[in-house]
Amino acid sequence: MAIIGKIRDKSWLIVGFVGIAMIAFILGDYNRMFGLGEGSYGIGLVAGEKIDIEDYNALTERVQNQERNQKQQENKPFTDEDLEAANDKAFSFMVDSTLLQKEYHSLNIAVSDREFTAYLMATEGFSVLQDLNQFFVDKATGVISEQSIKSGRVQLQNTLTKLKAAKKAEEKAQWEGTKKYFTDRRKNEKYFSLIAQGIYITKVEAREEYLSKKEAKNIQFVTRRYSEINNAEIKISDDELLSFYEEHKADKKYWNRSNNREIRLFDISIKPSKADTLAFDKKIAKLRQDFLASSNDSALVMKESEMRNYLPGARAIAVPVGHPKANQYMTYPMDYDTIIKRTAIGQLVGPYRVSDAFYLSKLLGFSPAKIKARHLLIATNNSTDSKLLASKKKTADSLLAAINKTNFAELVKKYSDDPGSKDKGGEYADFLEGDMVKEFGGYCATAPIGKIGMVKTDFGYHIIEVLERDANRFPILVTIVKSFKASEETVANSESEANMLLGKINRKLSGLSDISKKTAAFDTLGNRNGYFIRPIKLEDNNPTMYGISTKIAQDRVLELAFNNEAEAGDLMQAPIRDEDKYIIAMLSLVTQKGEPQFHEVKERMKTELIEDKKAKRLINEMTKIKGLNAVASKFNAVVEQAQVTFANPSMGNSGFEPEIVGALFSGLVKDGQTTLPLKGKSGVYIVKIVSSQKAPSTAIYKEEKDQLTAMVKSNLQASLMNSLRKSAEVVDNRKLYPNIRF
């Protein structure tokens, strides 16, 4: 039998493995991964080599299927966002796997046959792998014992032997995939273990950490905040700003960390007009009449609703917006809860708004908001065999006669065929009637609390006891959903408005040459018309869009930013339609990694120069007055108190001030002394050290050393992978391929 079949027999959840959906890719031909196809980028680059698009597409399909199945198990929809996340997961996996394979090769990390066998069989010092847990767990006790490990090794070895001897190509691929997965997993463990062994915290580092936490300064201080001075009072000339730029442009804090572009845009919403509102109200009024008179709700829902899913019975339960099961059921606003409960059965509720749609609902009944029950299942597995069904029924009847509140859990553990509840005494908590199959849910919703009864479902015979049932109830609703959208005429008017404004902006920008002035003009015209300007930064190596809903709109914006002739100051040629809005966008910056251009940092430097001038003015005013109390009295300030440490440089209500606290621990200011005015992040400070608190004397810093080591190790894998990606200069070109950059 193939290992996949054997695994299923053993309830081995191989699909739950980290990356197991990607086995086929790992196992694939790495020689094909790079360098195929035309163009310089393809869908992406790792260390200058192209990622093969066929491998990427195959992997994304597997990951999408895995994520889609997971959502189905959770009774949740698989959304466009989920699809995007699955694709990103596949791409990241390809990148990381490639980087690690290179590391394994360069460090000569390998796994011998003997090590591989010991790793799987939990011998030679290896523990049982969680992925293989089901082979080694004692079925009777649910725990791993010395005896269960011995029998598990035999079981697993037999399975692997059969798989290795398989002749069919599919079964061979299963074996190779399984072997590759566990081999790479072991390589991964060895690699990160090897790196972790290089982590060492010195005694000096541990001592500094100890002192930074234990040494303290008790201080009094007065703060004058920069916000006391209005920015308009500070005059900055162009020459001053340019001089500041020349002096500081080499400062690393101003450098661009990557090649990137900035898009500035604003949205023109397409809102329904008054005429649209009147037409919609008439439509809803007519629909209310038809709905009330209808004797065939399902047909009306299928005809009129934009969400055509008529759910029978308890599946039509509706929950308040924000409820944990809101993704599984229809929802209604919380403020409609009382209205619904006062509505007569068969009457209408609404229309009420949920997100961007209006709901009109007919009340069919109510169901408990929360149920707790336990059951014992005698499974029939959808069998139609009359003899088998009779036998199962006889067993169930015997158990029903014997079971009671005292022995329920014991009999469940011994006889129940439901693995999901067997180890919990058969209990299921916090479920709704609609979560379960009709017969099971119906019994739990209506049977007396504590009564033990039996129902038959497609799964088999259920012996059930209802333990708890919430007195609060959720409505059972049949609902027609209608979106309130702008008419074609209104959309056309919005488009005309967007075109007129775009033309106005274009005429204004065409007369300007300086990019800073173009940007200011774009912002001014947008703001003047009541629109909020949004800047979006796009990295050349990973242009990620946000705030734009449709792919067509995203592609248009990306084309503006990355077309071969793109220059800062370029304006889109036409408004972009993005669902219920039009977008007007401008390419405002094209920056290169390293030292910035003046226009890229002009505003940031202007802000800092204004702060510097404010600080100088405040320092000059405060220097003329001696003593904390005198300074506080003169400027209507307060003398504050705080205890600060080097590890926690927080100045009370004034916040994080590492430079001020650093000066206090420099040794230049003694106890009882007061500093000159000092420039901080939020203002200018005068500080008096009232007293210093020395750290208790010790020669052992084990606690600090252990903490620092644990901190470094906890971030090791993420930090190392980030470093590998950075050094490989990974390019994610998926959003630009193939129409914009290839």
pLDDT in tens, 303-326: 888 877 777 777 788 888 888 888
- What pLDDT was estimated at residue 182? 94
- What pLDDT was estimated at residue 22? 40
Together in a domain, 72 and 129: yes
Q: What one-letter code names the amino acid at 201?
A: I
- What pLDDT was estimated at residue 11? 29
Q: Are 159 and 166 in contact (CB under 8 A)?
A: no
Tell me if 300 is assigned to some domain. yes
Together in a domain, 325 and 395: no
Together in a domain, 13 and 98: yes
- What pLDDT was estimated at residue 75? 67
- What pLDDT was estimated at residue 16? 32
Tell me if 201 is assigned to some domain. no
Together in a domain, 330 and 281: yes
Tell me if 209 is assigned to some domain. no
Contacts 24+ apart (CB under 8 A), 342-351: 347/292, 348/288, 348/291, 348/292, 349/475, 349/477, 351/284, 351/482
Together in a domain, 375 and 357: no
Question: 3-class SS at 622?
Answer: helix
- What pLDDT was estimated at residue 129? 93
Residue with token string 């090590």: 115
**DSSP string computed for 224-277:** EEGGGS-GGG----HHHHHHHHHHHTTSGGGSBSS-EEEEEEEEEE----HHHH
Secondary structure (H, E, C), 49-96: EECCHHHHHHHHHHHHHHHHHHHHHCCCCCCHHHHHHHHHHHHHHHHH
Together in a domain, 265 and 289: no
Count of structural domains, the chain: 5
Handedness of CA 652, 658, 659, 663 (dihedral sign): positive
- What pLDDT was estimated at residue 8? 30
- What pLDDT was estimated at residue 589? 93
Residue with token string 């190790």: 713
Of 469, 491, 508, the residue at which a domain comes to its end is 469
For the chain, which residues score pLDDT lower than 50?
1-38
- What pLDDT was estimated at residue 741? 78
Together in a domain, 150 and 299: no
- What pLDDT was estimated at residue 375? 94
Together in a domain, 347 and 414: no
- What pLDDT was estimated at residue 353? 86
Together in a domain, 72 and 159: yes
Q: Cα-atom radius of gyration of the chain, to the nearest Å?
A: 34
Which range of residues forms the domain containing residue 677? 216-248+601-693
Cβ atoms within 10 Å, residue 550: 13
Together in a domain, 47 and 186: yes
Give the predicted TM-score (pTM) of the model. 0.67
Together in a domain, 350 and 376: no
- What pLDDT was estimated at residue 201? 93
Non-local (6+) Cβ contacts of 352 within 8 A are 332, 333, 336, 358, 359, 361
Q: Are 446 and 314 in contact (CB under 8 A)?
A: no
Non-local (6+) Cβ contacts of 395 within 8 A are 378, 415, 461
Tell me if 210 is assigned to some domain. no
In terms of DSSP bridges, do strands 330-332 and 581-591 run parallel, antiparallel, or are they unpaired?
unpaired
Together in a domain, 383 and 289: no
DSSP 594: B
Tell me if 402 is assigned to some domain. yes
Residue with token string 């011994």: 414
Tell me if 586 is assigned to some domain. yes
